[in-house]
């Protein structure tokens, strides 16, 4: 799967490419608007990640260009501006998702994952991880072909873990994924712990090995 990252901040661009690279994506980078426009015209990408504030142009214009050349690439806009107009603008122009800086790499990875699945299989495919099968269309989970009853949050957790398999995921990344911006109001991480405990128990009861590893003082790893 090819991903183009259009971001002028070198360090940020590298981090994204490195993280997504490890998740099995082939990443190309562009450091400004012109280079971005050139690359989307030269090659086909499954997914474009574009910053709004770029030298020589706006990420929103990249979205326009992509629509003009009838590209069916998924588009994720990233912006430091947490402004509703920018967000609505981006989505209105045809972007698929919008992330505000700073974001967790695991969150970006999960969004790319969900976007590609939606784009390419119309969401009609299932996600397989070892003996676990997740069917996004019905939001159901099978372990060894037997259904496992998960709550909405447990389901979200599992999909997030699979999208970020073998990576250390911090508790704060999990919290903001599950509760979004409302999380800031919600208090401690205890309730994440209880959701993970329940998910782990349900998967193991269904006969799966313990995939969720606790990384001491940091977070979790799904492997």
Partner 1 sequence: MARVTGSNNMKLLTKNTIWFLLIMLPLLAAGGIYLYHQFDKELKKEMDEELVNDQIQWLIYFNSIPDSSPVFRITTPEFSIHPAQGPADAQPFLKTIMQYQEVEHKEVPYRQLEQVIRIRERFYTLTIRKSLIEKDDLIKNIALVMALAFIGLLLFTILVNRLISRSIWRPFYQSLDKMEKLQLEQMHHLSFPDTSVTEFNRLNEVLLNATTRIYHDFVIMKELTEDAAHEMQTPLAIAQNRLELLLQDEALQPAQLRSIAQTHEALQRLSHLNHSLLFMAKIGNKQFVPAGNISIKAVLQKHLRLFEELIRDKDLLVSTDFSGDLSLLLHPILADTLISNLLGNAIKYNYPKGTITIQLTDQLFSICNTSEYPPIPATQLFQRFKKNASNLENSNGLGLAIVKKITDTNHLKIYYIHKEKEHHFIIRPDRHHH
Give the residues lining the site for partner 1 (CB under 8 A): 9, 11-12, 15-16, 18-19, 22, 53, 80-84, 100-106, 151, 153, 167-168, 170, 172-173, 179, 182-191, 194-195, 215-219
Q: Least separation, in Å, of the C-beta of 160 and partner 1?
A: 14
Cβ burial, residue 4 (10 Å; 0-12/13-18/19+): buried
Copy the structure tokens of residue 82: 């947490």
The Cα–Cα gap between 45 and 3 comes to 6
**Closest-CA residue to 82 (of 52, 112, 47, 50):** 52
Note whether 164 and 156 are within 8 A (CB). no
When the beta carbons of 22 and 64 are compared against partner 1, the nearer one is 22
Q: Least separation, in Å, of the C-beta of 153 and partner 1?
A: 6
When the beta carbons of 10 and 38 are compared against partner 1, the nearer one is 10
Q: Least separation, in Å, of the C-beta of 133 and partner 1?
A: 25
Q: Least separation, in Å, of the C-beta of 110 and partner 1?
A: 13
Q: Least separation, in Å, of the C-beta of 179 and partner 1?
A: 7
Note whether 1 and 25 are within 8 A (CB). yes
When the beta carbons of 187 and 209 are compared against partner 1, the nearer one is 187
Q: Least separation, in Å, of the C-beta of 168 and partner 1?
A: 4
The Cα–Cα gap between 66 and 62 comes to 6
When the beta carbons of 168 and 206 are compared against partner 1, the nearer one is 168
**Closest-CA residue to 194 (of 163, 151, 140):** 151
Cβ burial, residue 196 (10 Å; 0-12/13-18/19+): buried
When the beta carbons of 102 and 209 are compared against partner 1, the nearer one is 102
When the beta carbons of 96 and 107 are compared against partner 1, the nearer one is 107
Q: Least separation, in Å, of the C-beta of 139 and partner 1?
A: 16
Which 3 state secondary structure label does DSSP give 78?
strand
Distances (CA, A) of 95 to 12, 29, 89, 185, 215: 21, 19, 9, 29, 35
When the beta carbons of 39 and 101 are compared against partner 1, the nearer one is 101
């Amino acid at each position: 799967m090819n991903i183009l990252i259009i971001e002028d901040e070198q360090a940020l661009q590298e981090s994204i490419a490195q993280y997504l690279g490890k998740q099995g994506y082939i990443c190309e980078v562009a450091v400004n608007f012109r280079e971005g426009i050139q690359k989307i015209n030269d090659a086909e990408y499954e997914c474009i990640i574009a910053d709004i504030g770029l030298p020589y142009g706006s990420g929103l214009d990249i979205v326009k260009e992509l629509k003009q050349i009838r590209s069916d690439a998924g588009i994720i806009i990233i912006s430091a501006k947490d402004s509703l107009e920018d967000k609505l603008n981006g989505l209105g122009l045809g972007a698929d998702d919008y992330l505000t800086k700073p974001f967790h790499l695991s969150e970006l990875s999960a969004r790319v994952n969900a976007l590609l699945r939606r784009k390419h299989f119309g969401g009609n495919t299932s996600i397989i991880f070892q003996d676990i099968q997740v069917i996004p269309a019905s939001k159901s989970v099978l372990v060894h072909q037997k259904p496992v009853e998960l709550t909405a949050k447990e389901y979200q957790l599992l999909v997030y873990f699979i999208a970020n398999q073998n990576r250390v995921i911090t508790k704060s990344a999990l919290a903001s994924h599950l509760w979004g911006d409302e999380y800031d109001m919600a208090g401690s991480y205890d309730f994440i712990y209880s959701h993970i405990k329940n998910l782990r128990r349900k998967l193991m009861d269904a006969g799966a090995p313990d995939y969720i590893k606790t990384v001491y003082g940091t977070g979790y790893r799904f492997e």
